[in-house]
């Protein structure tokens, strides 16, 4: 038997596109001699559909799509993920499920049992967990079909009390197939390989695993579909961040092929590719084509400009230089050098006149009070007005350029430099930003060296540097990682040797900035714990860890 894995980029709620893509790959797999082609979890509607699942019409469209796909399954069978109705009155109205279709008939439906309800996942909000399991018989082969999380309850601290494969194995299956929507983080590909290999070894069965690829707003799927033999050896790994269709031969209880040597990408290379894909898909799937951003001459906006040019084409990127009276000549030159290197569009619009106008307008109300953060924020908000005006006038979509370190401690101005439609680097720490710059410059210097080596500054007052307000980024990012990603308390972090006052100050800043993060754009998720739907904290909570 030949089994094809279709690693595709779906679009949530775009049934016409998803159906067309699935049918096209059924035909391609058939032309390649495949007997069965396998698509990803919730491929029909896209993942995660979230509250679209609460609309009756949405579920009906999923059902109609399943029937249309079935009409094209002649001479080849397919497995495809979609939501199906729960016919029982008790429980949630839907299952996260998969059709097995053969000769135009839906011969079997597999339902997901283990419903993740952590980090970016909230499947139990919508779906009923399956409680019964049955293998699929096809051409004399017994297939144990599971859906994503159903294979993840295999570690030393299981999250669930049951395991679907423990039931399916009782039917003596010949092969395991798992369809997934497994989001990207720069650590998750390593975890996936271990979990899947452990399943193959535990059940002594070969395993074919298909993941989807593409970005759905802030959540990015990296693909990397895999095949394992019954001993847990990887036989193949499909491309990351790309669509791909590959066919494998299953015969005599084994998948043909030699052991595959995995070539790991560095964390920074993965982050780079994920962000480029995230920007591209946000624009394509939203029907946008051109981006605008504020280009300061600093490293953060330089990185975002570089990524946007690679994702959208330099001709579709507008960089707006907005010097203030405190901006240095070298910052303007650095920004112009970057624009020249990439060949993107640009405008130079000084905010000095606008800031002076606000100072004059507020002079009466602020009489006798010294220059402080208020005037700095007015400058930042003046820049926000300029880039939003460019967005409104020309239809550009604004890219936010705040990094994770800044987002964490609230080092940014609401309705100023924190505005935008999508946060490009809001899940990338400042120390990683420098690594990203080096990666982008690995073949040729496109981000000016001076942009990378000069001390970071918002340039909102004379001689200002980030270090005036924040700890050294190496120290800050280490403490933030321990607190945010690893969820360690201040007591734990202090015990690692960090000064108590510094640790408590940083954690207080993180908690105090929660109200700002609630009002910022969605952030492309590249880490195990990103701000947004995967990290839900109360704004008015007193607990400081």
User: Using one digit for the tens of pLDDT, what is the confidence trace for 201-256?
Assistant: 999 999 999 999 999 999 999 999 999 999 999 999 999 999 999 999 999 999 99
Q: Would you say 294 is a known binding-site residue? A: yes
Residues designated catalytic: 41, 112, 148
Tens digit of each residue's pLDDT (9 = 90 or more) over 362-404 = 999 999 999 999 999 999 999 999 999 999 999 999 999 999 9
What is the separation of C-alpha 171 from the centre of its chain, rounded to a whole number of angstroms? Answer: 37
pLDDT grade, residue 171 (50/70/90)?
A: very high
245 and 114 in a common domain: yes
Q: Would you say 300 is a known binding-site residue? A: yes
Q: Would you say 295 is a known binding-site residue? A: yes
Which of 435, 466, 497 finishes a domain? Answer: 466
Domains identified in the chain, total number: 2
392: containing domain: 269-466
CB 341 within 8 A of CB 367: no
Tens digit of each residue's pLDDT (9 = 90 or more) over 101-158 = 999 999 999 999 999 999 999 999 999 999 999 999 999 999 999 999 999 999 877 8
Two structure tokens written together for 38 = 């396998």
Q: Residue 500: inside a domain, yes or no?
A: no
Q: Would you say 298 is a known binding-site residue? A: yes
Q: Residue 358: pLDDT above 80? A: yes
Q: Would you say 94 is a known binding-site residue? A: no
Task: State how far the Cα of 61 lies from the Cα of 288, in Å rounded to an integer.
Answer: 25
Q: Residue 342: pLDDT above 70? A: yes
Q: Would you say 248 is a known binding-site residue? A: no
444 and 309 in a common domain: yes
User: What is the CATH number for 341?
Assistant: 3.40.50.620
Q: Residue 498: inside a domain, yes or no?
A: no
Task: State how far the Cα of 76 lies from the Cα of 61, in Å rounded to an integer.
Answer: 24
Q: Which residues pair with 399 in a beta bridge?
A: 422
79 and 33 in a common domain: yes
Q: Would you say 516 is a known binding-site residue? A: yes
Task: State how far the Cα of 198 lies from the Cα of 156, in Å rounded to an integer.
Answer: 12
């Amino acid at each position: 038997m030949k089994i094809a894995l279709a690693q595709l980029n779906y679009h949530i709620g775009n049934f016409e596109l998803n159906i067309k893509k699935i049918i096209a790959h059924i035909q391609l797999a058939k032309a390649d001699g495949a007997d069965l082609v396998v698509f990803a979890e919730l491929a029909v509607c896209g993942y995660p559909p979230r509250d679209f699942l609460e609309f009756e019409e949405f579920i009906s469209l999923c059902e109609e799509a399943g029937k249309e796909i079935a009409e094209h399954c002649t001479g080849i069978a397919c497995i495809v993920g979609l939501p199906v109705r729960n016919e029982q009155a008790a429980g949630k109205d839907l299952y996260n499920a998969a059709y097995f279709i053969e000769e135009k008939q839906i011969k079997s439906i597999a339902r997901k049992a283990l419903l993740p309800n952590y980090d970016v996942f909230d499947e139990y909000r919508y779906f009923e967990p399956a409680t019964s399991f049955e293998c699929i018989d096809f051409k004399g082969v017994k297939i144990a079909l599971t859906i994503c999380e159903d294979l993840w309850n295999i570690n030393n601290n299981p999250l669930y009390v049951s395991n679907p494969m423990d039931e399916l194995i009782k039917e003596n299956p010949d092969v395991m197939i798992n369809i997934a929507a497994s989001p990207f983080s720069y650590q998750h590909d390593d975890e996936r390989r271990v979990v899947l290999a452990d399943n193959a070894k535990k059940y002594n069965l070969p395993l074919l695993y298909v993941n989807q690829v593409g970005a759905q707003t802030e959540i990015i799927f990296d693909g990397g579909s895999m095949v394992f033999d019954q001993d847990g050896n990887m036989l193949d790994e499909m491309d990351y961040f790309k669509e791909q269709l590959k066919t494998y031969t299953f015969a005599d209880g084994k998948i043909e092929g030699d052991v595959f040597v995995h070539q790991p990408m560095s964390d920074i290379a993965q982050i780079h590719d994920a962000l480029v894909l995230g920007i591209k898909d946000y624009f394509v799937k939203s029907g946008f084509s051109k981006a605008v951003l504020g280009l300061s001459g600093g490293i953060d906006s330089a990185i975002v400009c570089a990524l946007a040019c690679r994702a959208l084409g330099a001709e579709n990127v507008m960089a707006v230089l907005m010097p203030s009276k405190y901006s240095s000549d070298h910052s303007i030159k650095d920004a112009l050098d970057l624009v020249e290197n990439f060949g993107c569009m640009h405008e130079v619009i000084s905010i000095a006149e606008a800031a002076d106008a606000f100072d004059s307008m507020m002079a009466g109300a602020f009489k006798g009070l010294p220059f402080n953060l208020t005037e700095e924020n007015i400058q930042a908000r003046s820049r926000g007005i300029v880039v939003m005006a460019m967005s409104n006038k020309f239809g550009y979509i604004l890219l936010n350029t705040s990094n994770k370190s800044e987002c964490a401690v609230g080092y940014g101005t609401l309705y100023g430099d924190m505005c935008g439609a999508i946060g490009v680097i809001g899940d990338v720490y400042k120390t990683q930003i420098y690594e990203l710059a080096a990666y982008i410059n690995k073949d040729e210097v496109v981000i000016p060296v001076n942009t990378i080596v000069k001390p970071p500054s918002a340039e909102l007052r004379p001689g200002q540097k980030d270090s005036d307000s924040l700890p050294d980024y190496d120290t800050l990012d280490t403490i933030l990682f321990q607190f945010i990603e690893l969820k360690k308390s201040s007591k734990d972090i202090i015990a690692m040797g960090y000064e108590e006052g510094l640790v408590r100050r940083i954690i207080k800043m993180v908690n105090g900035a929660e109200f700002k993060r609630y009002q910022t754009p969605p952030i492309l998720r590249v880490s195990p714990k990103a701000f947004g739907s995967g990290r839900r904290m109360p704004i008015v909570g007193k607990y400081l860890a």
